[in-house]
Structure 1
Amino acid sequence: MNLEYLEFSKLDINNEFFDSLRSDYKEFNEWFLRKQKEKAYIYRENSIMIGFLYLKIENSEVKDVEPRLPAKKRLKIGTMKIDAHGTKLGERFLKKAIDYAVRENALEIYVTVFPKHKALISLFEEYGFEKYGVKKTSNGEELVFLKTFSNIKNNILLDYPIINAKKSRKYLLSIYPKWHTELFPDSILNTESLDIIEDISQTNSIHKIYLTSMKIGGVRSGDIIVIYRTKDDNGPAWYRSVATSICIVEEVQLSKSYTLQKFLELGAKYSVFDEQELRKWHAKDGSFVITMTYNAAMSKRLTMQTLVEKIGLDKEEYWGFRELSDNQFKAIVKMGGINEDFIIY
């Protein structure tokens, strides 16, 4: 895997990747050496480091920004640097940061960034970070961006990963095991091998593309999708088919509504199919493209047995695609171990 979570002590402080950080922050080397036992996410391509992400949970008042941030549990994106062009690495790093905040139940994230890093600022703003203030040091003036999960804007990306279930319809959508783990790696089953998860664009992306020929009439932007992994070869569906994840629909289109070039570009970034398979999907009449955000992975997988006996789904209905009631969805969230601080009912 290209994405690693390593102690600072295992990294070469003299790596030229860090030169720009040394240029921006005079105290970088001293800071780096103080962090030897802490960890950061590292991304390498052909053994060359092109990405670095350091995250830290804070609870005290943040006094070195103006205005100060009051004492509260929040995540600080301490350092995020990317040497990559034309990739989705920034999105993948941001997803790691948001996932970390959710896991730690931190309802705010903040980051400081120099104004010259316009692409990074655009990325933060795209996912709901707002300019809060400034940080002034001997290195110059940085902008402070803050994302507060309780500040709801009724926008799928700005609110991500919040799941707004108030007026949304809810559906169960099935996916075969061979595609499930690659598309939803945080929802890997205990019996699956971590070795099969490649760190590729669609694996760690916020956005997912699901291609289907099932009749999904009526699905629209803002609807909620519960991902249901169908059974594997290790046992019957009653015990081996499981609900694993929650997504929010961004858009639903016929595959032919896209130009072939646009379809191939989207599919390469966010689907599990290669170009040959994507070309077949594009040419196929009645095939739909569901673009979704990947908002939550369940800590407890719910088997078909649980969904029938405890959630109330009808065993005899079609399990490829089916609508869920509000009560069924709430029960899935509760039994699936999803943090309800990130769901609006």
Structure 2
Amino acid sequence: MNILLDTNIIIPLEDTSRILDTSFAELRKLSAEQQHCLYIHPIQFEDINRDKNQERQKIVLSRLRQYSQIENPPILSAQECYELGLSQSNDNDKVDNNVLFALYRGAVHLLVTNDEGIHKKALRIGLQDKVYRLEQFLLLLRRYTTVPFSFDYTGVKERFLYEINKNQPFFESLRQSYAGFDQWFQKCAADKRKCWCIENGDGNVAAICIYKHEQDTRLTDNGEIISGRILKLCTFKVDTMARGKKLGERLLYIAFDYCVKNKLDWVYLHTFGEEQKTLVGLCLDYGFYCLGKYKQDDVYIKPMKLMDDNCGSLDSLIRYYPYFMDNESVQKFIIPIQPQYHEDLFPDFSSMKGSLFEKDQSLYSCQGNTIKKAYLCHSRIKSIRKGDIVLFYRSKDRKSIQCMGIVEDVLSSENIDEVFPAIAKRTVYNYSDLQQILKKKTLVILFRYIALDKEISYQQIAKAKVEGYIQSIRKIDNQQYSALIHEN
């Protein structure tokens, strides 16, 4: 793949004498081993040439010249800048926009940057899945090395806080950012507060969400009261050594499911500082928005009910997940899936459920923790589009439907450089497996996962007049869908 690097990854501009980050050294090493090409954008030289410190400029330019430049990169015109909704009020904006535009036009496959401004712009123009932070990209590279970087974790547990040792290293960053953390934790424990947590093999916390019920609460400094039943995610953290296992996404899924089952109206959390920028990105992707400030914190909130019937199916899903639109304007399909892939993709319905090992996460792949998933097959169907509903029919053994998805995007390709960036954040296919799959043109369905309340049996499927063997992707009409989902 062709990888575009932002200068903030290559050079600590504020201190050119500093030794380069070991993370970047690892990036170069793994990229070379996996035969990825690293590029910089020619416009980045303009940025460096404006530096009035001649000595620093000389050092920086010497470092940049070690990398290949994109040849004849696309130039962002004022018209295209306007159409994409990008702001360009200064020279820095011009550089950032053109770097992002190279990715938009397909000059490279991925962009690696720690610039929050670029990440926000990427989200605005739909490129967020192809823009990585340095640590995110390293996790991706490690996954495809010959020596797998795997971690053993037990499952998600609900525990009283007094069951947890708060002196674990996991809590040290929380203690440093919040002077009263120990006293607060002790009070919560005394109040018999609970949390959802994931532990590693040593019994220490790898990820945690401490939650609290509220009602009609002032959430920001402006005094506005949010009415209704509210879930506050007081502490939401994944250990740095556990990044890449999608544990944060798993905890967020449980929080949403908890809100649905308890008929809560809102869910919110506070964020503060650099450490939580990944959490902010995750929240924005699932419909949270910044309500305002509470002291030094940003307050992010999400409605746990459908509030706008006028938006499209996909927009509705992003804003209000796990709620979704399924009216007659939305197409519905049944997709057959073999048991081994069903087990991997949907561990909530695994055969391990209820067994002694149910909570052992080392038995599941990280894609089982995700809400955003990918399904690959060799179907020739071309009618599936964004916002459609897909029902997954587990063939051979159960012959039933237990889960569904709302389509985010569809791709048909046999080009690994096209498919890989689209699915990399959602699946754990290794490179060789993906190459085997892509020997034939492959249909890639990107979707958001929804668990059904009840299993739909083969008999119920037949009763809904979905007749015959389900051996390939099949479109069903709204009446059949309603019989399956709303009448069972």
Q: Counterparts in 2 of 1:47-58, with a 5 A limit?
A: 47=202, 49-58=205-214
How far does the alpha carbon of each residue in 1:238-297 deviate from its partner, in whole angstroms, 9 at most, with x for none?
A: xx311111201112212424417x62x665653464443222012x22221111110x21
Alpha-carbon separation, structure 2, partners of 1:269 and 1:249: 16
Instruction: Report the alpha carbon displacement of residue 84 of structure 1 after superposing the two structures with TM.
Output: 2.4
Cross-structure match for 2:465: 312
2:220 paired with 1:65: yes
Cross-structure match for 1:330: 482
Query: What is the percent sequence identity of the aligned residues?
Result: 28
Deviation above 6 Å: which 4+ runs of structure 1? 189-192
TM-score (norm: length of structure 2): 0.59
1:2 partner SS? strand
User: Among residues 332, 349, 355, which one is paired with 1:170 in the alignment?
Assistant: 332
Cross-structure match for 2:388: 223
Cross-structure match for 2:30: none
Cross-structure match for 1:300: 454
For residues 192 and 93 of structure 1, do their structure 2 counterparts lie closer, same or farther at Cα, with a shift above 3 Å needed? closer
1:210 partner SS? strand
Cross-structure match for 1:119: 278
How far does the alpha carbon of each residue in 1:58-115 deviate from its partner, in whole angstroms, 9 at most, with x for none?
A: 3x22135333333412221111022327523332332222222222222321112225
For residues 275 and 10 of structure 1, do their structure 2 counterparts lie closer, same or farther at Cα, with a shift above 3 Å needed? farther
Cross-structure match for 1:276: 432
Kindly indicate whether the alpha-carbon contact (under 8 Å) linking 1:172 and 1:319 is maintained by their aligned counterparts in 2. Answer: no
How many residues were matched structurally? 318
Q: What is the identity, as a one-letter code, of the residue corresponding to 1:127?
A: Y
Q: Which has the larger radius of gyration?
A: 2
Alpha-carbon separation, structure 2, partners of 1:10 and 1:52: 13
Alpha-carbon separation, structure 2, partners of 1:61 and 1:208: 35
How far does the alpha carbon of each residue in 1:115-160 deviate from its partner, in whole angstroms, 9 at most, with x for none?
A: 5433322221222111112223xxxx21211111324454243332
Cross-structure match for 1:101: 259
Cross-structure match for 2:301: 146
Q: RMSD over aligned Cα, in angstroms?
A: 2.7
Alpha-carbon separation, structure 2, partners of 1:23 and 1:286: 52
Q: What is the identity, as a one-letter code, of the residue corresponding to 2:476?
A: L
Kindly indicate whether the alpha-carbon contact (under 8 Å) linking 1:248 and 1:293 is maintained by their aligned counterparts in 2. Answer: yes
Instruction: Report the alpha carbon displacement of residue 308 of structure 1 after superposing the two structures with TM.
Output: 0.9
Kindly indicate whether the alpha-carbon contact (under 8 Å) linking 2:378 and 2:443 is maintained by their aligned counterparts in 1. Answer: yes
1:244 partner SS? strand
Q: Is the strand fraction higher in 1 or 2?
A: 1
For residues 7 and 200 of structure 1, do their structure 2 counterparts lie closer, same or farther at Cα, with a shift above 3 Å needed? farther
Q: Which is further off, 8-17 or 30-39? A: 30-39
Q: What is the identity, as a one-letter code, of the residue corresponding to 2:479?
A: N
Alpha-carbon separation, structure 1, partners of 2:485 and 2:476: 12
More relative contact order in 1 or in 2 (CA 8 Å, sep 6+)?
1
2:441 paired with 1:286: yes
User: Among residues 196, 202, 205, which one is paired with 1:41 in the alignment?
Assistant: 196
Q: Which is further off, 21-30 or 297-306? A: 21-30
Kindly indicate whether the alpha-carbon contact (under 8 Å) linking 2:402 and 2:451 is maintained by their aligned counterparts in 1. Answer: yes
Kindly indicate whether the alpha-carbon contact (under 8 Å) linking 1:253 and 1:288 is maintained by their aligned counterparts in 2. Answer: yes
Instruction: Report the alpha carbon displacement of residue 228 of structure 1 after superposing the two structures with TM.
Output: 0.9
* Structure 2 unmatched ranges of 5 or more: 1-152
Alpha-carbon separation, structure 2, partners of 1:45 and 1:70: 37
Q: Which is further off, 123-132 or 251-260? A: 251-260
Cross-structure match for 1:79: 235
Alpha-carbon separation, structure 2, partners of 1:144 and 1:51: 21
Q: Which is further off, 212-221 or 22-31? A: 22-31
Q: What is the identity, as a one-letter code, of the residue corresponding to 2:205?
A: M
